[in-house]
Amino acid sequence: MEYTRKLADFCAEVSLERLPDEVIDKTKLCVLDLFANVYGSLELEAVSRVVSYVRSLGGPETATALGCGFKTGIHNAAFLNGTTAEAIEGQDGLRFGGNHPGTAVIPATLAVAEDLSLGGREVIEAVVAGYEAAGRIAAAMHPHHTLAGFLPTGTCGAFGAAAAVSRLMGHDAEGMLN
C-alpha cells in the first residue's frame, strides 16, 4: 500500500505553482495532441457510427462531443472523445508501459471539468495527476501486462482517468485511495 499511498498523495497535491514550466507546457501539448487526433478522425466511417450512436443516447447536455456540434452526458462525452482520439492511431504514448494515457485521461478530464465549470488550471493539474497514475501503474506492469494480452491504455488509463477526475472533484489522498 506504500506505493499506492505515495501515488495518491502526489495526485492529491498536484499544484500548478509547484509544476515545472516544462511539465505545464508538455501537458498543454498533450491536450492539443488529443484535439488534433479527434479532429483528424471525424471523417472516418467508424467514427461517424460512434457519433451517431452517442447522439442517439440523448441524456443531459453537460459535456462537449468534440467537433460533433452537440453536447451529451459526461460519460458519453468521455467515451466518444476518447474513441475518436484513438481512431487514427496518432495518440501520445509512454514508452515505459506501452500506454497511451491521453485518450483515457484527457476526455474524462475535459468532460468533468466542463460539467463542473472548472478552468484551465484545474484541467492541467488533473491531467498531470492522471498521466502520473496511468504511467506509473503501466510502467510497474510492463511488459508482462501487454504480453498477457491486455492493452494498458484501457486498463491503466482507467486508473489515470479516475485520478484526474478525483483531482477535479477535490478529493484528498484518502478519497483517492478509496
Quick: pLDDT tens for 99-125: 889 999 999 999 999 999 999 999 999
Mean pLDDT calculated for residue range 80-102 = 88
Q: Which domain holds residue 114?
A: 2-177
Neighbours of 19 (CB within 10 A): 16
- CATH number of residue 94's parent domain: 1.10.4100.10
Global pTM reads 0.95
Q: Which of 1-5, 71-75, 94-98 has the highest mean pLDDT?
A: 71-75
Would the pLDDT of 5 be above 90? yes
User: What pLDDT score was predicted for residue 94?
Assistant: 77
User: What CA–CA distance (Å, rounded) separates 91 from 84?
Assistant: 10
How large a percentage of the chain has pLDDT more than 70?
Answer: 99
CA distance 11 to 174: 11
Total domains in the chain come to: 1
Long-range contacts of 100-103 (CB under 8 A, 24+ apart): 100/152, 100/153, 100/157, 101/130, 101/131, 101/134, 101/135, 101/138, 101/153, 101/156, 101/157, 101/160, 102/30, 102/31, 102/33, 102/34, 102/131, 103/34, 103/37, 103/153, 103/157
